[in-house]
Amino acid sequence: MLITEILKRNAVMYGEETALIERIPADKVRRAITWNYFNQEANRLANFLIGNNIKKGDKVIHLLVNSLEWLPLYFGILKSGAWVVPLNFRFNSKDIEYCTEISEGKILFFGPEFIDRILEAKPFIDKYIKKYIYVSDGKVQCPSFAEDYQSAVKNYSTEEPKIELKSDEEAALYFTSGTTGKPKPILLTQKNLESACIVENRHHLQTHEDNFILIPPLYHTGAKMHWFGNFIVGAKSVILKGVSSKWILEAVSEEGATIVWLLVPWAQDILTAIETGEINLKDYDLSKWRLMHIGAQPVPPSLIKNWLKVFPNHKYDTNYGLSEATGPGCVHLGMENIHKVGSIGKAGFDWATAIFDTEGNMVKKGEVGELAVWGPGVMKEYYKNSEATKASLRNNWLFTGDMAREDEDGFIYLVDRKKDIIIVGGENLFPVEIEDFLQEHQDIQDAAVIGVPEERLGEIPVAIIKLKPNRHITEEDILKYCEKLPRYKQPKKIFFDDVPRNPTGKIEKPKLRKKYSGMEEAFKL
């Protein structure tokens, strides 16, 4: 059953029951919609798109932060037969230009947070975008170049659009970043999205009575595909806008939540707040909370051991995935395998895994090689990038770029990332972007950026800088210069040293990691 059909079925079966709740603790705001309203709004948007000459296979760009409007818009685009193109809300104007050009998007939905970025990109994307639709929060006026969403769609029907969709058809274009840090377009089919619902539900056994707290950004396949496990059984979910230990526990307590997906720093913050007395668990009713699971980054085993001391009745799971595999689930630990914390687990439901050497042969257990996965969530291709597709998709296997080994019981452990991605609090950070920025400085000759362990965020970026001859600048000077970058991309420590490169000019980052490992005290935030 396609995910658009699941939504229609939920409206029929659970029409006036709550589908989604939005909580904005900072503003003391709580909103909710029913399954009927969810489906009708998706239909209204689909009919608006069809009425504005959006044809099957056209691309519609979706640029919003998490909100109650996010998912109805997503499903409305799918129901129209167009490809939905969700963009990372951290993308700058240049990223928006690039993604619009690749996708050839015809309509762009955006929220108030993006007005300035859209204005900056607009001269370059006007040749593609026929309509700019502003999805308002009611606080910031609609810009003159756009149409207000509610006014634009209000006269369109809420009936199901007469568009036939098939499981093998293209549905969504997600942009991630490759090893160069440039956004790479991942083409997913209707079947890919459907499979994510089934896999997530089989792993975490959601029923109609579950309630999922959704915190990470919906543009990312991780958060949305975990929500799919609730969605497929018509269970409600809470979109929590803003992250703090208190807000998370309040949401669990007041909404009767049963499942929470956390990132490592959020879980660590909760434990710290309990340990320091900032939070008293007696103030919250957490009796329905049955599962805490973590994804998007390596999970320290000590964190889970400490978590289970505080929450001994919780089930725990971790999931490994990537956007090219339609999010999490191609590998998962399993709630029954708490004794294997530290491993990412085994092949997920309906998935197969293998570890290959550089010659394309499967390695023996215990040996390190590149992890590959095979299953119903494997992307169709990197859109408009046949070279990258050929490199990643080989004989139906999706090569992940992660180095791994398998133990005697068949559990997989990540050893190192083939790609030099740094994961900061669950967000992928690409060193080359920072390196290029640093090398624009007039006093810097060479630069390398690596990730080093950090207790709360998992990793933080540090920079190794080689100055030009006879130049004298300080660590404080460089950190000040880096304030132009988004906060999560700013190096937290600067070392002045040579940058080792191999004969082909590539930075020898294993040498740097070895040299600067074991210096965690220097990196404490």
Q: What is the DSSP string of 20-57?
A: EEEEEGGGTEEEEEEHHHHHHHHHHHHHHHHHTTPPTT
Instruction: Give the position of tokens 């526990």.
Output: 249
Rounded average pLDDT over 479-483:
94
Q: Average pLDDT of 283-308?
A: 88
- Please give the pLDDT value at position 297: 65
CA distance readout (Å), 11 to 36, 37, 38? 5, 8, 8
Indicate the class that CATH gives domain 3-242. alpha beta
Chain segment 89-137, per-residue pLDDT in tens: 988 999 999 999 999 999 999 999 999 999 999 999 999 999 999 999 7
Torsion of CA 468, 470, 471, 475, to 10 degrees: 90
Span 493-520, average pLDDT: 76
Q: Domain-by-domain residue ranges, the chain?
A: 3-242, 422-523
Mean residue pLDDT across the chain: 91
Q: Taking 70 as the threshold, does the pLDDT of residue 48 lie above it?
A: yes
Regarding predicted confidence, which is higher, 221 or 165?
Answer: 165
Tokens (6 digits) for 492 = 């937290």
The Cα–Cα gap between 34 and 18 comes to: 4
Q: Do residues 59 and 173 make contact, with C-beta atoms less than 8 angstroms apart?
A: yes
Summarised one tens digit per residue, pLDDT across range 321-333 is: 999 999 999 999 9
Residues 6+ apart with CB under 8 A from 214: 66, 223, 226, 227, 237, 238, 239, 240, 261
Q: Residue 139 has what DSSP assignment?
A: S
Q: Do domains 3-242 and 422-523 have the same CATH topology?
A: no
Dihedral angle, C-alpha 149, 155, 160, 162, nearest 10 °: -100
State in words which class domain 422-523 has. alpha beta
Strands 147-148 and 291-295: unpaired
> Do 500 and 507 contact (CB within 8 A), yes or no?
yes
Return the HEC string of 226-244.
Answer: HHHHHHCCCCEEEEECCCC
Is residue 385 pLDDT above 90, yes or no? Answer: yes
The residue assigned the tokens 């007469």 is 162
H-helix or E-strand spanning residue 5:
helix 3-14
Report pLDDT for 523: 47
pLDDT (mean) for 278-298:
91
Q: How many other C-beta atoms lie within 10 A of the C-beta of residue 313?
A: 9
- Per-residue model confidence (pLDDT) at position 502: 59
Quickly count helices (H) and strands (E) in the chain. Answer: 15, 27
| 0.75 exceeded by pTM | yes
pLDDT surpasses 90 at 419? no
Distance (Å, whole) CA 68 – CA 37: 11
- The average pLDDT across 504-509 equals 65
State the distance between the two ends of the chain, measured CA to CA, in whole angstroms. Answer: 47
C-alpha to C-alpha distance for 411 and 369, rounded to whole angstroms = 14
Q: How many CB atoms lie within 10 A of CB 10?
A: 23
User: pLDDT grade, residue 215 (50/70/90)?
Assistant: very high
| Segment 149-202, tens digit of pLDDT | 999 999 999 999 999 999 999 999 999 754 345 788 999 999 999 999 999 999
**Predicted pLDDT of residue 117:** 97
Kindly report which listed range (82-91, 207-216, 434-443) carries the lowest average pLDDT score. Answer: 434-443
Cα–Cα distance measured from residue 222 to residue 427, given in angstroms and rounded to the nearest whole number: 11
Contacts of 488 (CB under 8 A, 6+ apart): 424, 425, 427, 429
Average pLDDT for 458-476: 90
The pLDDT of 43-55, averaged and rounded, is 98
Q: Which residues pair with residue 317 across a beta bridge? A: 293
State residue 525's pLDDT score. Answer: 45
- 412-417 vs 397-406, strand pairing mode: antiparallel
- pLDDT of 516 reads 85
- Tell whether the model's pLDDT for residue 278 goes beyond 90: yes
